[in-house]
Structure 1
Amino acid sequence: MTTPVPRPAIAAVPAYRPGRPAVSDELKLSSNELPFAPLPGVLAAATQLLGRMNRYPDAGCTALYEALAETFEVETDQLAAGTGSVDVLYRAIAAFAGPGDEVVLPWRSFEAYPLAIAVSGATAVPVPLRADATHDVDAMLAAVTERTKVVLVCTPNNPTGPVLTSAELDRILAGVPSHVLVVVDEAYVEFVRDPLAASGLAALRTHPNVLVLRTFSKAHGLAGLRVGYGIGNRDVVESVRVAVPFGVTDVAQVAAIASLGETDAMRRRVETVVAERDRVAAALRAAGWQVPVSEANFVWLPVGEQALAVAARCEPVSVRPFAGEGVRVTIGDPSANDLVIEALRDPA
Structure 2
Amino acid sequence: MPRPLPRPVVAALPAYVPGARPSDDRAHKLSSNENPYPPLGPVQDVIAEAAGRVNRYPEMFADTLVAAIAQRHGVAAENVVASTGSVAVLGHVLQAFCEPGDQVVTAWRSFEAYPILVRLTGAEHVQVPLTSDARHDLAAMAAAVTERTKVLMVCTPNNPTGPVVHHDEMVELLATVPRDVLVVIDEAYVEFVTDPDAAQGGRLLADHANVVLLRTFSKAYGLAGLRVGYAVAHREVAAAVRTAATPFGVNELAQTAALASLDAAEALMDRVRDVVAERERVVAALRRQGWDVPDAQGNFVWLATAEHTTDLASRAAARGLLVRPFAGEGVRVSIGSPEANDAVLALTAEWAPID
Question: Could you tell me the TM-score, scaled by structure 2's length?
Answer: 0.96
Task: Write the mapping of 1:16-165 to structure 2, written as runs, cut at 5 A.
Answer: 16-22=16-22, 23-24=24-25, 27-165=28-166
Give the C-alpha shift of residue 26 in structure 1: 5.9
Q: CA deviation at 1:244?
A: 2.0
Partner AA of 2:20 in structure 1? R
1:338 corresponding residue in structure 2: 342
Measured against aligned partners, the alpha-carbon deviations of 1:98-142 in whole angstroms (never above 9, x if no partner) come to 111000000000000000001010000000000000000111011
- Does residue 174 (structure 1) correspond to residue 178 (structure 2)? The answer is no
In the alignment, the residues of structure 2 paired with residue 195 and residue 280 of structure 1 have an alpha-carbon distance, to the nearest angstrom, of: 20
Q: CA RMSD in A?
A: 1.0
Q: Any residues of structure 2 matched to 1:251-262 within 5 Å, and which?
A: 251-262=253-264
Q: How does 1:210-289 map to 2 (within 5 A)?
A: 210-241=211-242, 242-289=244-291
**More displaced, 308-317 or 193-202?**
308-317
- 1:24: Cα distance to partner? 3.0
Q: Percent identity, aligned pairs only?
A: 54
Shift of 1:190: 0.2
**2-side partners of 1:249 and 1:123: how far apart?**
32
Q: Which amino acid aligns with 1:286?
A: R
Mapped partners of 2:202, 2:9: distance in 1: 33
Q: 2:205 corresponds to which residue? A: 204
Distance 1:7 1:218 in 2: 33
Assess if the C-alpha contact under 8 Å between 1:289 and 1:347 holds in 2. Answer: no
- Partners of 1:288 and 1:347 within 8 A in 2: no
Distance 1:216 1:169 in 2: 24
Residue 8 (structure 1) aligns with: 8
* 1:264 to partner: Cα distance: 0.8
Q: Which residue of 1 aligns with 2:298?
A: 296
Cα gap change, 1:320 to 1:289, in 2 (>3 Å): same
Counterpart Cα distance in 1 of 2:254 and 2:56: 14
The answer to whether structure 1 residue 317 and structure 2 residue 321 are counterparts is yes
Q: Structure 2: how far apart are the matches of 1:83 and 1:25?
A: 30
Q: Distance in 2 between matches of 1:329 and 1:78?
A: 34
Q: What's 2:196 paired with?
A: 195
Q: Which runs of 5+ in 2 are unaligned?
A: none
The CA deviation at 1:314 is 1.9
SS at match of 1:2: coil
Of 167-176 and 78-87, the range deviating more from structure 2: 167-176
Contact 2:83 2:246 in 1 (8 A): no
Q: 2-side partners of 1:313 and 1:339: how far apart?
A: 12
- How far residue 25 of structure 1 moved from its aligned partner, in angstroms, is 7.5
CA distance in 2, matches of 1:210, 1:321: 32
**Residues 217 and 223 in structure 2, CA contact (< 8 A), matched pair in contact too:** yes
Output one character per residue of 1:195-224: Cα deviation in whole Å (capped at 9) or x when no partner: 000011110001010000000000000000
- In 1, Cα distance between equivalents of 2:43 and 2:74: 23
- Asked if the contact 1:151–1:181 (Cα under 8 Å) also holds between the matched residues in 2, the reply is yes
Following superposition, the deviation at residue 16 of structure 1 comes to 1.1
Are residues 57 and 197 of structure 1, via their aligned partners in 2, closer, same or farther at CA, if it must alter by over 3 Å?
same
Q: Can you give the 5+ residue segments of structure 1 that lack an aligned partner in the other structure? A: none
Contact 1:287 1:347 in 2 (8 A): no
Shift of 1:245: 1.2
Residues 261, 19 of structure 1: CA spacing in aligned structure 2 closer, same or farther, 3 A cutoff? same
SS in 1 for 2:207: coil
Structure 1 pair 25–151 and aligned structure 2 pair: CA distance change class (3 A): farther
Aligned residue pairs, count:
348
Query: How many Å separate the matches in 1 of 2:187 and 2:200?
Result: 9
Aligned partner letter, 1:265: A
Verify the 8 A CA contact 2:27 2:322 in the aligned structure 1. no
